[in-house]
Structure 1
């Protein structure tokens, strides 16, 4: 072209374009860049042929290889389902009280139970299983159990619930209301004695007498509780409804009794078993104790 010339400072030919005194140098692209560009074109053509690429009305071109992300996901899900099915079969065959004999299977059960807990239990017990004093949801991380904390007992509680209407096997306990049974001085003395059982206050003789006459039949003379009745232990520092004097007075005068739904029929037995394993693993789980002295005596939880 007529306008082409060689730029003197660089020794490079111009492309012949000039605007306001500015000219463009005819500098060719590096060879490696060109070959890379050509390779991307070849790759793009190969990809369009081999994989789904062109969208249509209700689907996309299938591609020569027949691959799809949905198909790959389905395969991976199938493999995972098969692995879970194998674990579930093993769990179904192992009695829950023997689950701790197989540490690997127990670990898998705990992992499955953790997932089930997030779906079914966090609404009441919280994501960290700490419960709530205000609402009466127990903390599952401590070692205080109304009915027992071994694997079999936890499984039973999950299966039948607490005060679940319509379930003959449900855990049931009822503390009678003592409204009108004590005058204010007697109520204060009784509360002081209950608090003294866990070292929160000094002993109170009048309160001890009232406790022996009205409370010891269920809670024990020393406040040790009674798991066969679901009567809570009073001589530790763990309280379901709070440990303030006001909270104790309210519970004595007008007891608040919670309800936990049963999970049989909602969850399959293996999932309940995994849930029991997870709850047991939170920190307060107890060893299973088998009573064999009398053949008529059935398996029982720890005292």
Structure 2
């Protein structure tokens, strides 16, 4: 195709390029595009001059306006800290009973505690605090170490099987892996434990298995879980008669817990959160699962 050929329809010259019979017109860039390109260029240059923009090794151009976003955020955080200072001081000084009886304080607890929980606890317990496999559901009120705010604050502070010197410590023996029980006995205990919260089918063979499992349970498990299997909070042993399970309540999961044992872990927050924040978090967790 000849360069400079004029298109009969638009009257514009062509560039000499052709694809599958389609000729390229020598059409100029629309002025509106040039206009906005110029505006963008002027804005960018103005922003570079006025605002912090270009990195310069260990520093950066400060801009003639002297605006520092880090300084702004720091001031906002400090203003927020000062605003909540009075009621945070009250949380730090008052006992739990006094705090729970103060509706204004508890309103702050529900609002601020949710953010504190989300930032520090949701990664394991979930944003809704309903937990998951291996992580307790905090809304179920099935506490291993006690659910009073004082007990919750202690657990948060020192953790469970953590690196804190005062950590709460618990360990379920791997009865099968250690050889304390054979595989048949592990299955019998698992069947008995399941029967505590799920009605048996009534099958005679199952009834015999459950009875044998009860005898093994009495000989090996009551020291931690109690004769009634309702657990002991002083050693962190769970209640086996409810329908709340940390590692799963189906027969296979219960079997694996008995065979291999369990040792949960919760980090301690004593060095990360202030005493007042730990109290606030304990009060917040205490409200979980309650009617709004």
Please give the TM-score of this superposition, normalised by the length of structure 2. 0.69
Alignment pair present for 1:196 and 2:195: yes
* 8 Å Cα contact 1:174/1:257 also seen in 2: yes
Q: Gaps (5+ residues) in structure 2?
A: 1-48, 52-60, 202-206
The 10-residue stretch of structure 1 (183-192 or 204-213) with the greater mean CA deviation from structure 2: 183-192
Q: Gaps (5+ residues) in structure 1?
A: 1-53, 63-67, 286-303
* 8 Å Cα contact 1:160/1:262 also seen in 2: yes
Q: Secondary structure at the match of 1:186?
A: helix
In structure 2, distance between residues paired with 1:260 and 1:199 = 29
Shift, 1:199, TM fit: 2.6
In structure 2, distance between residues paired with 1:277 and 1:173 = 24
Match of 2:147 in 1: 149
In structure 1, distance between residues paired with 2:143 and 2:270 = 21
Distance 1:61 1:218, change over 3 A: closer
Aligned-residue CA RMSD (Å):
2.8
Match of 1:290 in 2: none
Shift, 1:59, TM fit: 4.0
Match of 2:38 in 1: none
Alignment pair present for 1:138 and 2:117: no
Shift, 1:79, TM fit: 4.8
Q: How many residues align?
A: 225
Match of 2:166 in 1: 169
Q: Secondary structure at the match of 1:210?
A: helix
* 8 Å Cα contact 1:140/1:279 also seen in 2: yes
Distance 1:61 1:113, change over 3 A: closer
Alignment pair present for 1:232 and 2:232: no
Match of 1:100 in 2: 100
Larger Rg: 1
Please give the TM-score of this superposition, normalised by the length of structure 1. 0.67
**Residues 171-198 of structure 1 deviation map (CA, whole Å, 9 limit, x = unaligned):** 1112212122333332222111111111
In structure 1, distance between residues paired with 2:215 and 2:72 = 73
Shift, 1:242, TM fit: 0.3
Match of 2:111 in 1: 111
* 8 Å Cα contact 1:193/1:201 also seen in 2: no
Shift, 1:284, TM fit: 6.3
Q: Secondary structure at the match of 1:130?
A: coil
From 137, 156, 159, the equivalent of 1:158 is 156
* 8 Å Cα contact 1:149/1:280 also seen in 2: yes
Match of 2:261 in 1: 255
Match of 1:186 in 2: 185
